[in-house]
Amino acid sequence: MRITGFVVNPEVKTQYSESWFLNVQRRLPRDWAVEVGYVGTTGINLERIDDVNRFNGDLLDGREDRLNPNFGVLLFVTNGVTSSYNALTLEARRPFNHGFSLQTNYRWSKWLDTSSDTSTGQFQDNAEPGKGAANINCLRCERARSMFDIPHRFSASVMWAPTFFKGGSRFVERLANNWQASAIFTGQSGRPFSVWDGRAFSAGGDYNADGGGGAVGGGFYDRPDAPAPGTINASFGKQDFLNGLFDAGVFPKPSPGRDGTLGRNTFRGPRFVTLDLSLARSFTVRGEKQLQFRLEAFNALNTVNLFLPNADLSLPSFGKSTQAFESRTVQAGVKFVF
């Protein structure tokens, strides 16, 4: 029984980021404003966590020796990740006026890094954080689209609080006014994910035979070879995520002791679309006192937003999304303001 460990580099440096941006705003007639912007950010000295006590080909002699044979898995937390983010942003807005306001944003971006996260449980969508480098001696081989990379994101929010029948009868005016409706729409690209194998060497996984593969807390995380050109689709629709994107068989197994040629985060998950609606009405009770009724619908269109597909080649559900974000939720509320 070997000692395993979790070690933090005693000379770990502070993580930081540098950002630069440029925005041009233009005021248009009828209170409209448009804005075009660029933002760039680099992350420096970001932390990573890897099992560092391993080397490629260790298991080929039938014995797990590890780099230091006195220890098993040694998870090491240190600096070693850099990230780069570049985005173009567009915005059009109209402040609340004449009972109406609107704000729309679009962002086109690219986010690269060599590791996106070191803790599990941060993502809800079946992502695989807490995975280290496939080959501990090639951290630059991990450079790819970040787990946070969302190339396209659009959002729009509208508020409408009309005043009807001004000067009409008191009853009609009371009935028709003091309503407020709002809608928020968000649509964005899916997040990237890697295809990997969670099996041990003896079970046909751990391709580079290093006795690990970088998964935090042990486990294996070896990527296969890239599929032959034309064997898989370039992009996927919702039905593909339900039926399965590809067969495990299209990913060739590297010869024992060798790293797979498939890069990190080479595939993209399902897109996310949601519309939230709310309708509110306030009544004046006496003086400043108000009673507000509110009806809200989250994911009002009941869009099925799938989680990332299962990306472990050894699972029967490989390539399929088997979970989804919340379906429509409706709630009503009453608020008394005094």
Q: Candidates 222, 227, 299, 312: give the one binding Ca ion (CB under 5 A).
A: 222
- Only one of the segments 28-36, 54-62, 247-255, 286-294 lies at the binding site for Ca ion (rule: CB under 5 A); that segment is 54-62
Q: Does 13 bind Ca ion (CB under 5 A)?
A: no
Please report how close the Cβ of residue 260 comes to Ca ion at its closest, in angstroms. Answer: 10
Please report how close the Cβ of residue 104 comes to Ca ion at its closest, in angstroms. Answer: 46
Residue pair 78/148 in contact (Cβ under 8 Å)? The answer is no
Please report how close the Cβ of residue 116 comes to Ca ion at its closest, in angstroms. Answer: 19
- Only one of the segments 109-117, 150-158, 219-227, 293-301 lies at the binding site for Ca ion (rule: CB under 5 A); that segment is 219-227
How many residues bind to Ca ion according to rule CB under 5 A? 9
Closer residue to Ca ion, CB minimum distance, 212 or 270: 212
Residue 1: DSSP 8-state? -
Backbone conformation region of residue 159, classed left if phi is above 0, alpha if psi is from -120 to 50, else beta: beta
Q: Candidates 61, 70, 230, 286: give the one binding Ca ion (CB under 5 A).
A: 61
Closer residue to Ca ion, CB minimum distance, 43 or 205: 205
Residue pair 116/146 in contact (Cβ under 8 Å)? The answer is yes
Q: Does 63 bind Ca ion (CB under 5 A)?
A: yes
Please report how close the Cβ of residue 215 comes to Ca ion at its closest, in angstroms. Answer: 9
Q: Candidates 115, 208, 265, 278: give the one binding Ca ion (CB under 5 A).
A: 208
Residue pair 142/225 in contact (Cβ under 8 Å)? The answer is no
Q: Where are the beta strands (DSSP E) in 263-328?
A: 267-268, 272-286, 289-298
- Only one of the segments 57-65, 116-124, 173-181, 268-276 lies at the binding site for Ca ion (rule: CB under 5 A); that segment is 57-65
Q: Candidates 25, 31, 65, 331: give the one binding Ca ion (CB under 5 A).
A: 65
- Cα three-residue angle 208-214-217, rounded to 5 degrees: 135
Q: Does 202 bind Ca ion (CB under 5 A)?
A: no
Please report how close the Cβ of residue 206 comes to Ca ion at its closest, in angstroms. Answer: 4
Q: Does 51 bind Ca ion (CB under 5 A)?
A: no
Closer residue to Ca ion, CB minimum distance, 192 or 205: 205
Closest alpha carbon to 116 in 30, 49, 210: 49
Closer residue to Ca ion, CB minimum distance, 63 or 174: 63
Residue pair 281/292 in contact (Cβ under 8 Å)? The answer is yes
Which residues, 264 to 323, sit near Ca ion by CB under 5 A?
none
252: which residues sit within 8 A by CB, 6+ positions away?
A: 224, 225, 227, 228
- Length of the chain measured in residues: 338
Closer residue to Ca ion, CB minimum distance, 113 or 206: 206
Q: Does 210 bind Ca ion (CB under 5 A)?
A: yes
Closest alpha carbon to 187 in 95, 303, 101: 303
Coil, helix or strand at residue 288: coil
DSSP string covering 4-33, please?
EEEEE-TTPPPPEEEEEEEEEEEE-STT-E
Please report how close the Cβ of residue 185 comes to Ca ion at its closest, in angstroms. Answer: 43
Report how many helices (DSSP H) and strands (DSSP E) the chain contains, helices first: 2, 13
Closer residue to Ca ion, CB minimum distance, 135 or 146: 135
Residue 132 CA to residue 142 CA, distance in Å, equals 9
Residue 329 CA to residue 273 CA, distance in Å, equals 15
Residue 329 CA to residue 297 CA, distance in Å, equals 6
Closer residue to Ca ion, CB minimum distance, 125 or 206: 206
Interaction site with Ca ion (CB under 5 A): 58, 61, 63, 65, 206, 208, 210, 213, 222
